[in-house]
Homo-oligomer: A and B are copies of this chain.
Amino acid sequence: KHILVIPGDGIGPEVTTWGKAVLEKIGQDFGHEFTFDEALMGHAGIEATGNPLPDETLEKAKASDAILFGAIGHIKYDNDPSAKVRPEQGLLKIRKELGLYANLRPIMLFDELLDASSLKPEILKGTDILFFRELTGDVYFGEKKRSEDRNTASDLMIYSRYEVERIAIKAYEAARVRGKRLCSVDKANVLEASRLWREVVQEIAKQYPDVETEHMFIDNAAMQLVKNPKKFDVVLTANLFGDILTDEASQIAGSMGMLASASVGDGTGFFEPIHGSAHDIAGQDKANPLASILSVALMLEISFGLKEEAKKITDAIDKALKDGYRTGDIADANTDKAKILGTTAMG
């Protein structure tokens, strides 16, 4: 299998280094041959070529069997709302070009980290959520406009039936082999795009009578996720709402540094941590590489069907945590100081 590594910005290069290293080790141990290439995206792409998604990167991406991505973004653009070229455009464009319409974000809890969350352990324990976030539609990709006097700005929130159908089917298929419960999140009491979303999900639901369907408004979902995260099994939602809910859920899981995501659809799968580029700690050997390593586990399972190999990775992480090892972001007052590791040591 040929893997394209796209380190991206900030802590991206540090964490993908360890994702890649783990993949090489798995290859050796199980006798698989993984070959690697590397490419630029985001701020790194802009610096080198002026383009957040250089043509070469897109070609390499299309030619690979799976992509391991790091992180994107740079504070420079965040503070300059009028910048025309932005790192994030690279990520949005590759999602669209590769047809990565389904973003899977499993919220899994390592028992050892229950105390790292701001939620009470008894509220958390047993939480196991799989988010299906639509990834190539919504207000992310609808037409953007700025009036000539620059005083009015707009983005079109838009969905078409087939876009909702295809991700709903993926989510229901997953629910069927999990807890058989699916919660679809929208804002159908206000938004027309959400009303279409709800209509389509109601239709698809009929094909899955064995799965219990619930429809929830986004405001309520944002609340319920904190109140009682255990009540969720599969959560299906649109691009923008999914962006918000999964970040919120990451904190429930104790740390963003522990969560991986898989983007799949028409072609090559794309695997990345859900954390961002964290420029404030970049290059300091402080970043938690576990989300990148867990992204590799997701790649093995989802793109290559290698379940045993994936389990070897999650077991190894579990053991490191049980042995008391932590990176700074998941350490707490009770952590043995000597066991707080940098990126390299944890990797």
Contacts and interface: CB of A to CB of B under 8 A. Distances in A.
B251 A199 contact: no
Interface in A228-270: 228, 240-241, 243-248, 250-252, 256
A212 to B, nearest CB: 15
A97 interface: no
Contacts of A160: 151-152
A189 interface: yes
A146 interface: yes
A287 to B, nearest CB: 16
Contacts of A337: none
B118 A193 contact: no
Nearest to A222: B248
A214 to B, nearest CB: 11
A82 B86 CA distance: 38
B193 A155 contact: yes
A58 interface: no
Contacts of A228: 118
A108 interface: no
A156 B154 contact: yes
A226 B223 contact: no
A218 interface: yes
Nearest to A152: B160
A218 B139 CA distance: 14
A120 interface: yes
A311 interface: no
Interface stretch (A3-11, A23-31, A61-69, A71-79): A71-79
Contact of A226 (B78, B190, B241, B251): B251
Given A73-B189, A118-B227, A248-B248, A151 B140 contact: no
Contacts of A191: 139, 144, 155
- Give the 5 A-B residue pairs with the shortest CB-CB distance, closest first: A153-B196, A81-B195, A154-B158, A219-B247, A222-B248
Interface of A: 73, 77-79, 81-82, 86, 88, 92, 118-120, 123, 139-140, 142, 144-146, 150-162, 187-196, 198-199, 202, 215, 218-220, 222-228, 240-241, 243-248, 250-252, 256, 276
